[in-house]
A and B are shown apart, each in its own frame.
Chain A
């Protein structure tokens, strides 16, 4: 606007200053000229108004052009998006704050009680429910990964009718009509096929169904399960009786091909119970002793104090040997007779100490009578189960270490798949309802001709949570099942405790739960059309209509707890279970008549190179194939073979040599053909030292046909090779007489059966992705071990290994800070064992201890970490390139005796020739390695941009925003714990193969042109409290920083309240001391620690001498990995202690040699010998 200068008044005295004559003479024009801010000419517009707008319009134009210029650059900026706040805040839901709900995962054998972490209504992470009598809080990897299954974009999500999309209403219209028809005929021609899931509501509904349709028949099928155990115990103790092992009460355990610490789940907390007998705080603590006889190397065999490899088909013979010895010693005539009735050709696995091994083991069992467990693997036939039961009976295990419980499950009413198949083929089944995640078209024994049987059934309704399985693709109706995290349900633990399954989220794809489906079937009313719920109900909130599933479960609950009030129900939902609902103890006694099974067992010839034995095992990752579309499980390495994204045939070193297999295959595995009864399948082969000779282990579940959702899903497609085709109902777990040969050249893909779908021909070598290529420690004392005797002889035996052995002085002098520091000898050690903090936080200093004596190597921590910390999956191609992202990895080493280890060291050339003798009887050691949070962290000093620094409470923290990705920290990390995002794994889908002309390459390599992740669905699983990392940054274990911070905030928030409570009244004026802000002792559990079923991981505050972690650090077994580097790692390890039988060591040079490797008496290290190669391991 026009501005008129307000000139000050002219002074009346003194000089007068003038600018122009006009001013001096006081001309008006001159005055005007003076007053104006802008003179004529400054604006070219004619009138005043326009002059004003001219200046403004100039500015407008300028700003407009600037804005226009900015338009082009606007795309350089990230588009801004706005979070939508709640307009009506649901109670408790605070963004970023985790809500915990109890639920349970229905599973074969026994449901897994768990606590679900939900954020803003999304389940993101699972942990065990430690209050449940069947759980110690640990959770296996398959259960951990089931949360990803909820968000699996390929899971069943739509109703379909003969492959055509349909709707829920269409299906229920059909069902309402069908059930009237069936009711009229009394259910004739109607069959239901269920899985092994133990759900009281389901059992109740099946009972009602059988009442409503008396002619209907219910069958039960699962590819692997406790069927043999159940059958044997039915014979030996009566219907419904099952054994429940109390490993915590057992001193001596003998495993007959049972992987009870791994795949043979026999109890929700059996791993924890077993490990409780091996915690060994002091060298005087008693330890249990495990003998294992097994065919392939399992994690149970890895823990065993004595292990013998015996082919699965020969287990009955060694069981009979054991039975004979025990029968003779205990005077149990029935047992001796049964043992004698086994047709045996005197099997000997080729060990000179075979006889003495069993004799000593039997003596050991007898000496501990009443405190022993003999456990037969669920893959062993009924006869072996009965024999094991008889041995247990003779040793007085029942009632002391094994509880017999009456499960009361209606075994006799349930048929088998074989029966159903023959009924169907006979034309007696017109309608079949499959309520199961099993996939019989794919996994049923070949001789049952299930696909044909299913084809002969007019109407097949498949209800499954899985992707469109082979079974579902052949079905008339596909009914998408709800995930257990979306439904009301119930289950029982192994020992029977009732647990409620409560929904965490509304069904993502509008599925139907098994209860709802069965409920609709038995209901006399028609199922009404579907009405979508108006708003998301809170799991525990009051919802107008919680749905039919809720009512069904509530009815079961009301029957179980008669007269239960609403409060009792709400408490049940809070706790997740109803206490004291375990199965009642069985009252029946052992019926030795069952032992007659043994005589009926034909003699199985010991496998030979021309007639090999094949063992079928469910996969440690994808089970029987049902988790094939779980990326976490596919990428988790197998605990023993370390293979990812595929399965492989496993064989021993000797057999590999006999078959001329390349032993030291790293990336490329030889392919073998396995032929049984005219059926041939092809598998890449991996050599596993310690496997039984002339035997092949095949893991099943892989090689499912189809692509994408029309098959095993986008994750599972093209992974692995099918072994089910070799399996018959006579040989469901192992088969003999197999012809195995190495392919010398590529072979044409056979018609039909083969799953080498993406190959034009079967190659002689197959690229395999393993996470570990070296299996020896090469004389480095990384995993330290010793026998209990070693420990008793030398309290500091742990520090007499490796580089530490070269140091002088006692343990205290050998610790890193004393032995190696130039500056602070004996720094900061306080009287009570705690240490003066090197860092500024005097309330919290975090540390971790991993007890290698408890760790089985099951990889449950690895998956838990992946779930908690948003760790991306990288795909097979990247794993092959060594770029897997797991923050905690599971190193697995095989160890032979010192002589052969030394021999190996001298010949550690890659591709060296292994001597089968030295390599086929190794022990297996595992070691989880994550960031060790070194106080003097080598990674921190080398980062040029300060992207990795130390926090005052002792964490080595990674600042993703600051990281530019020089990777120097990764190089300088001695533990190689740092992981680099070589690609945008979180953004681009690593599981897509792309092609351009003749080139085919992984999607990641397409860069900005690559596909993003298939759906937004998997993002729902992400933990909002953990940054999702972009490409080009390093990441690593943070000690679950988000949990620490959350606990710290809680401690601060509650400090006043807690202190008031101590004083008895709330006091606003209360002065808080610094100590009051400390997080309570053991107040934090990190994800891996929480998941570990063996309770091998301890985490806590090093400044709190009462904390678990300080107690563990005080253990004499404590050592620092690579302690000589003096990096002062916050994570330390407790050495492995073996408890070998001293008698057996005396009697068997082989066993003596095996345990000698951890022994201080080895002729190295202590003497400071220069033979570094041999310097201990």
Chain B
């Protein structure tokens, strides 16, 4: 943190004052008041979107159209328009599914596990992360739903009593997947929505009467912010957090079972569940940073989403990336140590001889080597480096799934049937299209819902602390803070808040 040297709360700052030592780095900088927080966050929704928003959403909508076209073509014509073949029956479809599901992991981790462990820094990122989770799971869900050969029969996966009197096969990890993902999605949506209720009420209260007000009012569920309501809310939120926590672990564990419970060498490994969960958190955090760093910049949220947050998340990326690296190496060790020719060969083809070795090295570099720069604080503070590493991680996590799925299937038991897998243009555009879909949803989210949980972040303001000593405020003010356009509007009367713009900080 550039300001660190001047930070009076820093332990190494001059003066061994007890208060100074005990004080943590504030989660909201610049002594922002509650009204500022409300104005700043609600302003994003209430003001016209910056040009950048439009520049991004228009191509995204176009990509969604491409995606819809690709899926329509797929369903109308057959899975053959994609690239899979006989040894490689799954290609980019399941690769993308696992990729998106993995991204959808960070949200609930941040909202549930960090909530239960009282990691207060989560308040700045949980809303966006949860939204990202939901959108990523939506993208993910498209693939398994549409990759099946007979999409119109996909309802067979649901345990609906039918005239054939056939029940689902509960031994199949794919069925577990259906339940795990749909449960995860529904719980995530409910959790996200519950967290939104007080903020929706805030937005409702700030709106002029009209459709907007009605809509916010409808979803705010009559929230008045009374003590009893808060009490119920907190209990419900805590319960949902507790319910979500096992889901964070279960979803990707179950997804990993798709592979781990099979007998294909390269898939059939017990390390997959923890490795997948770690990888998912890894990829999810990278995606949160990928989204939030630009949002922070565009909407001027530096005081709310601080370098401290980025630092924390970078550390998590470093940790989980290293776990993933350990898993990669352990896989190799076990492949050798198992003494199974087929297992060891699978890895030899994957790493040494096969046609996809480049993908393996891409994966290894992106996921294991690249995050190692986060050992250095300077690197964690350099937003450009953070963004680049996050991009690497995003790509690396996709490669990881590609390597696991495609290279394994392309070189399995009987060499007589080995074949190469090449994605078709339909597959490629479908994947690109889901990015458009994801971004479009996220941009719409930015446009209509508070990107940071207003009510929650107020809870980490100094004013919320009953033991808060206002005298610190003065010293806090010593912090040389960048001034934003919004700052100057801070002390304006409430009715003028609507003109708080979304312009980037000067």
A1033 touches B149 (CB 8 A): yes
A774 to B412, CA, bound (A): 12
A976 touches B86 (CB 8 A): yes
A482 to B304, CA, bound (A): 87
Contact of A778 among B89, B340, B415 (CB under 8 A): B415
A305 to B150, CA, bound (A): 50
Residue of A whose beta carbon sits closest to that of B166: A946
A945 touches B156 (CB 8 A): yes
Is A539's beta carbon under 8 Å from chain B?
no
B76 touches A1008 (CB 8 A): yes
A1095-1120 interface mask toward B, CB cutoff 8 Å, 1 = contact, 0 = none?
00000000000000000000000000
B416 touches A1005 (CB 8 A): no
Is B419's beta carbon under 8 Å from chain A?
yes
Is B178's beta carbon under 8 Å from chain A?
yes
A945 CB contacts on chain B under 8 angstroms: 156-157, 166, 168-169, 175
A1030 to B152, CA, bound (A): 13
Is A316's beta carbon under 8 Å from chain B?
no
A1172 touches B353 (CB 8 A): no
A774 touches B148 (CB 8 A): no
Is B417's beta carbon under 8 Å from chain A?
yes
Contact of B78 among A666, A971, A1007 (CB under 8 A): A1007
A893 to B414, CA, bound (A): 11
B416 touches A774 (CB 8 A): yes
Contact of B341 among A946, A1032, A1034, A1175 (CB under 8 A): A1175
A946 touches B414 (CB 8 A): no
A800-816 interface mask toward B, CB cutoff 8 Å, 1 = contact, 0 = none?
00110010000000000
Those of A1028-1087 within 8 Å (CB) of chain B: 1030-1034
A938 CB contacts on chain B under 8 angstroms: 262-263
A975 to B413, CA, bound (A): 7
Those of B157-195 within 8 Å (CB) of chain A: 157, 164, 166-169, 171-175, 177-178
Looking at the complex, which of A143-151, A446-454, A978-986 is the stretch in contact with chain B?
A978-986
Looking at the complex, which of A377-385, A420-428, A828-836, A878-886 is the stretch in contact with chain B?
A878-886
Those of B342-366 within 8 Å (CB) of chain A: 342, 344-345, 348, 352-355
Is B273's beta carbon under 8 Å from chain A?
no
Contact of B415 among A666, A774, A884, A963 (CB under 8 A): A774
B149 touches A967 (CB 8 A): yes
A968 to B257, CA, bound (A): 12
Residue of A whose beta carbon sits closest to that of B150: A1032
Q: Known: A946-B166, A964-B150, A980-B89. Contact between A910 and B415, CB under 8 A?
A: no
Residue of A whose beta carbon sits closest to that of B343: A1172
A963 touches B149 (CB 8 A): yes
Q: Known: A889-B416, A929-B414, A966-B148. Contact between A971 and B80, CB under 8 A?
A: no
Interchain nearest-CB distance for B456 vs A (Å):
39
A962 touches B166 (CB 8 A): yes
Q: Known: A909-B353, A944-B169, A976-B87. Contact between A971 and B264, CB under 8 A?
A: yes
B77 touches A1005 (CB 8 A): yes
Interchain nearest-CB distance for B22 vs A (Å):
55
A1007 touches B413 (CB 8 A): no
Is B73's beta carbon under 8 Å from chain A?
yes
A483 to B406, CA, bound (A): 47
Contact of B80 among A666, A946, A982 (CB under 8 A): A982
A666 touches B174 (CB 8 A): no
A971 touches B90 (CB 8 A): yes
B154 CB contacts on chain A under 8 angstroms: 964
B355 CB contacts on chain A under 8 angstroms: 910
A1031 to B150, CA, bound (A): 8
Contact of A1172 among B88, B339, B413 (CB under 8 A): B339
A777 to B341, CA, bound (A): 12
Is A779's beta carbon under 8 Å from chain B?
yes
A878 to B81, CA, bound (A): 11
Is B370's beta carbon under 8 Å from chain A?
no
B420 CB contacts on chain A under 8 angstroms: 666-667, 773, 882
Q: Known: A803-B340, A909-B352. Contact between A882 and B415, CB under 8 A?
A: no
A982 CB contacts on chain B under 8 angstroms: 78-80, 84-85
B174 touches A966 (CB 8 A): yes
A666 to B419, CA, bound (A): 9
A984 touches B78 (CB 8 A): yes
A966 CB contacts on chain B under 8 angstroms: 144, 147-149, 174
B341 CB contacts on chain A under 8 angstroms: 779-780, 802-803, 1172-1173, 1175
A964-1000 interface mask toward B, CB cutoff 8 Å, 1 = contact, 0 = none?
1111101110111001111110000000000000000
A944 touches B168 (CB 8 A): yes
A882 touches B174 (CB 8 A): no
B84 CB contacts on chain A under 8 angstroms: 967, 980, 982
Most central of B86, B169, B177 by chain A CB within 10 Å: B86
Interchain nearest-CB distance for A907 vs B (Å):
8
A124 to B345, CA, bound (A): 44
Those of A924-968 within 8 Å (CB) of chain B: 927, 929, 938, 940-946, 961-968
A773 CB contacts on chain B under 8 angstroms: 418-420
B89 touches A967 (CB 8 A): yes
B418 touches A972 (CB 8 A): no
A869-912 interface mask toward B, CB cutoff 8 Å, 1 = contact, 0 = none?
00000000010011110000101110000000000000011100
A909 CB contacts on chain B under 8 angstroms: 352-353
B339 touches A806 (CB 8 A): yes
Residue of A whose beta carbon sits closest to that of B258: A968
Is B454's beta carbon under 8 Å from chain A?
no
B240-268 interface mask toward A, CB cutoff 8 Å, 1 = contact, 0 = none?
00000000000000000010011110000
Is B153's beta carbon under 8 Å from chain A?
yes
B254-286 interface mask toward A, CB cutoff 8 Å, 1 = contact, 0 = none?
000010011110000000000000000000000
Interchain nearest-CB distance for B179 vs A (Å):
10
Residue of B whose beta carbon sits closest to that of A780: B341
A975 touches B172 (CB 8 A): no
Q: Known: A778-B415, A941-B171, A981-B149. Contact between A962 and B156, CB under 8 A?
A: yes
A981 to B89, CA, bound (A): 11
A910 touches B178 (CB 8 A): no
A1114-1131 interface mask toward B, CB cutoff 8 Å, 1 = contact, 0 = none?
000000001011010000
B345 touches A1172 (CB 8 A): yes
A970 touches B78 (CB 8 A): no
Is A361's beta carbon under 8 Å from chain B?
no
A941 touches B172 (CB 8 A): yes
Is B409's beta carbon under 8 Å from chain A?
yes
A774 to B418, CA, bound (A): 7
Q: Known: A774-B416, A965-B79, A972-B264. Contact between A910 and B353, CB under 8 A?
A: yes
Is A772's beta carbon under 8 Å from chain B?
yes
Interchain nearest-CB distance for A195 vs B (Å):
38
B413 touches A976 (CB 8 A): yes
A883 to B262, CA, bound (A): 22
B157 touches A964 (CB 8 A): yes
A943 to B168, CA, bound (A): 9
Most central of A666, A941, A1173 by chain B CB within 10 Å: A941
A882 to B417, CA, bound (A): 9
Is A680's beta carbon under 8 Å from chain B?
no
Is A1004's beta carbon under 8 Å from chain B?
yes
B342 CB contacts on chain A under 8 angstroms: 780, 803
A984 to B417, CA, bound (A): 23
A1172 to B342, CA, bound (A): 9
Is A30's beta carbon under 8 Å from chain B?
no
A608 CB contacts on chain B under 8 angstroms: none
Contact of A968 among B76, B164, B174, B416 (CB under 8 A): B174
Supplied contacts A773-B418, A779-B341, A962-B164, 8 more A-B pairs, CB within 8 Å? A780-B415, A964-B154, A965-B150, A968-B89, A974-B413, A981-B149, A1030-B150, A1125-B263
Q: List 9 A-B contacts (CB under 8 A).
A: A772-B416, A782-B416, A803-B340, A893-B415, A893-B416, A942-B173, A971-B90, A974-B264, A1005-B81
B residues with CB within 8 A of A: 73, 76-81, 83-90, 144, 147-151, 153-154, 156-157, 164, 166-169, 171-175, 177-178, 258, 261-264, 339-342, 344-345, 348, 352-355, 409, 412-420
